Amino acid sequence: MTDVPEMSRRTFGRLAGVTACALLPLAVPSRAAAQEAPAVQETDSQIIVDNGEIELTIDKSNGRARSLVYGGRNLVGRGNYDMNSTREGSRLPLPGGETTFSIRQEADFVDVAFTHPPSNDMPCWLTRHHIVRSGETGVHLATSFEHPADLHGFRTDQHRYVVYTAGDTFTHAWVEDDPIGEPWRQAAAKMPTPQEMSQAAVVMDATYDLAGTGSEYPRRYYTKYDWAVYMQEHGLHGLHGLYGNGYGMWAALPNLEAFSGGPVRQDLILHQRTGGPVLLVEPHATHYGAPPIRVEAGQPWQKTYGPYYVHLNRGDDPRQLHEDAAQYARFDAHADLYDRLALPGWTPRADRSTVSGVARIPGVRQWDGALAVLSDNRTPMQDTVLGYNYWTSIGRGGRFEIDHVRPGTYRLTLYGDGIWGEHVIDDVQVGAGQHVRLGAMHWETEEHGRTVFQIGTPNRTSVEFRNGAQFRQYGLYQQFH
């Protein structure tokens, strides 16, 4: 085995051993023979895309989905894209214009794109894509932001896709359990009914007291915040219906590179409402203390979120529905389509790189729970909002490898359970189509004297404290005097 060069914060800038080589093309899943292109029908008020499996209807006036029909049933009452944004700084002239749309029809897909001009509240060009592919039972969603330097600044606290489901098709939720605490979500998968939610008392934002409603939900309180997830291992969540209908609707996230906040971020993904359940794809929000997106006047900024894939399926076994949807939550599941789509801001596989290295801490041999993260340069990883971020587990011997990285300049952060602090290296340069080998990184631990006593363990959780493992349970404060 060849020696790995040592590297620290001080030596990184002078390191001459960073090497790069071209990556081989990534393997892609095989597909059946070419099928007939999706059909497009345009009326005075609607755009209808039909690939023989699904039929998507979009409102021409605002770009919202009016319906999504699969297996003869409409599953979507409304597909919405919403955001909370405000102008910052002085008012500047806007270019004006109205919302426009375009329909791109290729041999095996249709892309319906709506472009919204800058406004006083959102001084940014915004383009939203609905992509339907031949032979698929789902819709790909992507959004691109473009802020020219001559527009005034803004802040965005949240932007997301919200799929408001239709009728009473979906009765159950599928979400992975948290990595800490006792698993509980499988037992609580059956959601309260909209009728039970309507009868329940509202005790907090989107939090309902089900006492007296006759609900079979195993917890007294139902709140959307209980169903939030950590993004570290997340890639799929969904709704399904039992008792005869057997439909499933899933949000498959083949990459989280554009999601704000890195692996430690938590956010909402689905929940029940008095009007029926909703499925969310929320790349950015300020829940759980995350920072907003801030773009200054004079600052050019472009970022593309997605594509993400909303998959529909049918069957009698929820586990099989989940397994079917899970195959689309991999980076290479639709990589060939996304490369051919070539949406503004998308980086094709040939231009993506691998970043590898070896983490070394004196006295540390076990790396259970440790991660390596690439994020916005010179920014705490959890505050990444303007650029892209990537992460992977640190394996045996401190080795790690991060794939599918866009070209750019990043901060590398290494951290792990039971290890105080973070090891941070800025100005990590990643070119196009390279294997960037960072070598061995010697962690310079911080010491402030001799430890007299210690309360808790540095693992970013409350699990070792009283009731700490039940942190996703409204009303927990009632357990303390």
Please tell me the predicted confidence (pLDDT) of residue 478. 83
Shared domain check, 309 and 388: no
Q: What is the CATH number of the domain that holds 363?
A: 2.60.40.1120
Q: Which tokens hold the place of 146?
A: 């473009």
Residue 19's pLDDT band (boundaries 50, 70, 90)? Answer: very low
Residues 6+ apart with CB under 8 A from 452: none
447 inside domain: no
Shared domain check, 61 and 190: yes
Q: Which of 299, 319, 341 is the last residue of a domain?
A: 341
Total domains present in the chain: 2
32 inside domain: no
Shared domain check, 307 and 275: yes
464 inside domain: no
Return the bridge partners of 241, or none. none
Return the bridge partners of 354, or none. 435
Shared domain check, 126 and 10: no
Please tell me the predicted confidence (pLDDT) of residue 164. 97
Residue 5's pLDDT band (boundaries 50, 70, 90)? Answer: very low
Q: Which of 318, 341, 364 is the last residue of a domain?
A: 341
147 inside domain: yes
Comparing 349 with 97, the larger pLDDT belongs to 349
pLDDT in tens, 352-393: 999 999 999 887 777 888 999 999 999 999 999 999 999 999
Is the CB of residue 35 less than 8 Å from the CB of residue 110?
no
Tell me the range of 7-21, 63-77, 445-459 where mean pLDDT is highest. Answer: 63-77
Please tell me the predicted confidence (pLDDT) of residue 88. 85
Shared domain check, 83 and 17: no
1 has a pLDDT exceeding 50: no
Full domain range(s) for residue 189: 39-341
Tally of residues, the chain: 481
28 has a pLDDT exceeding 50: no
Q: Using alpha carbons only, what angle is made at residue 188 by residues 255 and 320, rounded to the nearest 5 degrees? A: 55
Q: Which tokens hold the place of 126?
A: 């915004």
**Mean local confidence (pLDDT), 162-187:** 94
pLDDT in tens, 429-454: 999 999 999 999 998 777 788 989 99
Nearest 5°: phi and psi at 116? -105, 130
286 inside domain: yes
Shared domain check, 251 and 110: yes
18 has a pLDDT exceeding 60: no
Residue 178's pLDDT band (boundaries 50, 70, 90)? Answer: very high
pLDDT in tens, 229-280: 999 999 999 999 975 579 999 999 999 999 999 999 999 999 999 999 999 9
d(Cα 293, Cα 291) in Å, to the nearest integer? 7
What is the percent of the chain where pLDDT is above 70? 92
1 inside domain: no
Q: Which of 12-21, 156-165, 339-348, 392-401 has the lowest mean pLDDT?
A: 12-21
107 inside domain: yes
Please tell me the predicted confidence (pLDDT) of residue 244. 53
Q: What is the CATH number of the domain that holds 239?
A: 2.70.98.10
Return the bridge partners of 7, or none. 441
Shared domain check, 79 and 55: yes
Shared domain check, 321 and 366: no
CA distances from 381 to 226, 410, 464 (A): 24, 10, 25
Q: Which of 322, 341, 360 is the last residue of a domain?
A: 341
Shared domain check, 358 and 330: no
217 inside domain: yes
Shared domain check, 388 and 367: yes
pTM: 0.91
Shared domain check, 418 and 319: no
Shared domain check, 144 and 108: yes
